[in-house]
Each structure stands twice: as C-alpha cells, then as structure tokens.
Amino acid sequence: MSELPSALMLRAVQHSLMFSTPFELPSQTAALWLTALVLNSLLISLAQRFPLLTRAGWCHAGILGTVLWGSLAWRGWLAVVAYLVLGSLVTKLGFARKQELGLAEGRGGRRGPENVWGSAFTGLVLALLIAARIGSPPLLLIGFATSFAAKLADTFGSEIGKRWGRTTLLITTLRPVPAGTEGAVSVEGTLASAIGSLLMTVVMAVLGLVQSEAAFTVVLVVGFIATLLESLLGALGQDRWPWLTNELVNGLQTAWAAGLAIVTAWLLGLSS
C-alpha cells in the first residue's frame, strides 16, 4: 500500500531538514556568559515595545535568554525566541472574538513571568544540565526540544480550539462542554496541536538541535501526546484542586513531555 500524502509530506520535511550543521556544545567560558548577558539586556530593552510580554515578563525572559545563550549558545536561544513568537502570534488570532466570548488571555494576550517559567523552566533545567555535561547531551537535547514542542502544541490547540472549535468535548467523558473548559478538546484544536508540535520540531531541526529522523519523530509525536495528557490532567484535577494552576499544569506538561521523550529516545538507542 502506498503511503498517505500526509506521511509522504512529513517524510519530505524530515529529509529536507536533515541534517543541518551538527550542534556542538559551546565551551563554557566567562566570555560566552558575558556576551549572553550583554546581548540579552540590549535585546530585551528594545523588545519591550512589542506587545508580547508584560514589563516583568520581559525581565524574566531576559534572565531565561541569558541562561539559554550561555548554556546552548545562539541556537538554543533562538529556538525559544521562535517559540515565543509563534505562541504569541497564534494567541492574537481571532483575539477580538475571543474577548467577546470571554475566552481571551488576560492583559491583552501579554504573558507574564508565570507564563515564561511555566513554559520554559523544564527547558532551562535541561539546558543547564547540558552545559554542565551531566547526562547524555543527545538525550537531553531531545528532551529540551520536546518540552517546547509540547508547549507550542498546547498553545496552538487552546487558542485555535477556543476560537474555531465547532464542537468542544470533555476529554474524559466526551460530553459537550463550553469552549474554554479545562480539559476540553475539539477536532480543530487537536489538529492545531499537531501543527504546533510539527512547527516547533521543524524549528529545532533547522537549528540542529534535533539531529536524526528518529529524533524528529520522537519530538513531534511525544510533543503532541503530552498535550492530550495535559488536557486529561486539566479535566481530572483543575476543578478539584485549587492549587493546580494553569502555570503549574504547563510546567508539569513540559516536564513529562521531556521525560517521556528522553526515555523513548533512550529505548531507541539515540543516546549517542
């Protein structure tokens, strides 16, 4: 049986991206970290005019960017900038209508420190482990890439599903619920999640952080699956446990996405 068009397209994307300049761990020097601090301070001071983050959010993003550049050099930093831009753009899609429905993100869609760390804390920890040469760099890079693929998948699914989802169902019971309900899914939102995971995986491959077809597949698939697990946790727990905030759920999602991807990659022999 011939391959489906979607499978052929994915294979074409994989082969066209493989295999950009191999990622080499930067040498940990004072000059690297000083460069990271100066560049991020300058860029954040200029970027604050863009309505992507709150003022405090930009400050925390500067800290995140400095650590990422110092740990993984410009490629790791640029990957997370791409995540921020893509996530912010999809949040703005249909924003006026989402405001009318009471489903829009607060603060005009600007993200604060809690959003920065809910999305990126797992990636930050993995970047520091890579910089410290603790563990297998190829596995940790796969975990790093998957944590952001999962989060972008979640953002795409949530923002597209709230605005364009025709039928919204609770993932645990499949009964219809209002859009924006914790744990709600829709066909449109689910497809958007798959696209979000694919886009972030492509970014990671272009930057050389994903180095093989097998690693590409792990990041893509696990990033998508982690989003479904996040919806399941939201449906089961967020109405029961007040302490289970969206930011904590986001952090847990990126953590289990990275963990599942690392274990899967290890089982597939991708540790070298």
pLDDT digits (tens, 9 = 90+) for 186-202: 888 889 999 999 999 99
pTM: 0.84
The pLDDT tens digits of the residues spanning 99-118 come to 544 554 555 557 778 888 88
What sign does the CA torsion over 31, 36, 42, 45 have?
negative
Write the DSSP string, 87-128: HHHHHHTTHHHHHHTT-SPSGGG-B-HHHHHHHHHHHHHHHH
Q: Considering only residues 88 and 165, tell me which one the structure prediction assigns the higher pLDDT.
A: 88
The pLDDT tens digits of the residues spanning 23-34 come to 778 888 999 999
pLDDT above 80 (res 165): no
Gyration radius (Cα) of the chain, Å: 18
Instruction: Give the closest residue to 236 by CA, choosing from 172, 168, 186.
Output: 172
The pLDDT tens digits of the residues spanning 134-151 come to 999 999 999 999 999 999
Give the C-alpha separation, 190 to 52, whole Å.
24
> pLDDT-derived band of residue 169, with 50, 70 and 90 as boundaries?
confident
Query: If you average pLDDT over residues 113-125, what whole number do you get?
Result: 89
Beta bridge partners, 176, equal 169
How would you label 78-108 residue by residue, b for 16+ Cβ within 10 Å and e otherwise? Answer: bbbbbbbebbbebbbebbeebeeeebbbeee
Determine the pLDDT at residue 95. Answer: 52
Please name the residues in contact with 16: beta carbons below 8 A apart, sequence gap of 6 or more. Answer: none
